[in-house]
Amino acid sequence: MPPTPRMRIDPPLPPDENMRRDAELLDGEGPPRGRLYRWRPYGLSLGHFQKEAPADWLRTLAPDEVRVVRRVTGGGAILHAEEITYAVAGPDGAFPFDGPVHRSYEHVHTMLIELFRSWGVEAGLETCRPHALKRHEQPFLCFDRATSMDVMAGGKKLVGSAKRRRGGRALQHGSILLRAHPAQPHSVGLLDLAPRPLAEAEIMEALHNAFEGLLASS
C-alpha cells in the first residue's frame, strides 16, 4: 500500500484564506503535514507581533497591488508576490520539529539548499550570530533581516521562514522567492540566479517531492 501523501499543492488563494489554512494546519492533529501555495492577489503578511505597515513603505507599491494580512507566526513582514510559500505543521518534538528551536529551520533549509544547488544556484545557510536588536528596533521586512539559519545567495536572502508553537504542535512556513521585488531590495529570487530557465511547474513539482521526502522521515 503506498504511503499517505504528506504534502499537498493548493491553488493560488487570497491572503486571508492562505493564513486560515496555515492556522488550520497548526491546530490540526496527526503526523507532520504541509502544503505549497501561491498568493492571488499578492499579499503582505505581517508578523504576529508587528504593528501596521509603515505608510511610506506602502506607498512604494502600486495602488491595490497587495492585501495586508497578519500571520500566526512572528518575524518581519513579507511581500508575497513572485514566490512559492511552504507550510509544514506537526507535533512539537517530532521530526522536523525535534530539538532546539532552530532545528526545524536547519532541516527544511538544508533540504532547500540541496535542491537549489541541483539547479545551479549557489545558496547556503547564514552563519552570523542571531541579532540582538529589540523587537521595535528590527527592520520591518523579513528579507531585511539576516539571522542564523537563513537561506542566502549572493549575500541576499532567498528564503524567509517563521515558526509558531501552540497546543503541543508547531508550524513553520516560509517564502521561497522566484523573483526579487523592488520593495524588498535585500532579497533575490531563484529565477534571478538560475543558470537555465526554470518553469514554475518544474519548481513546484521538485519542491513537492523534496518536502514529501523530508516528511517521510517523521
Q: Cα 185–189–192 angle (5° rounding)? A: 100
Q: What is the largest CA-CA distance in the chain?
A: 56
Q: Which residues are known catalytic residues?
A: 142
Phi, psi of 95 (to 5 degrees): -55, 135
DSSP designation for 93: T
Q: Are 105 and 172 in contact (CB under 8 A)?
A: yes
Considering only CA atoms, give the Rg of the chain.
Answer: 16
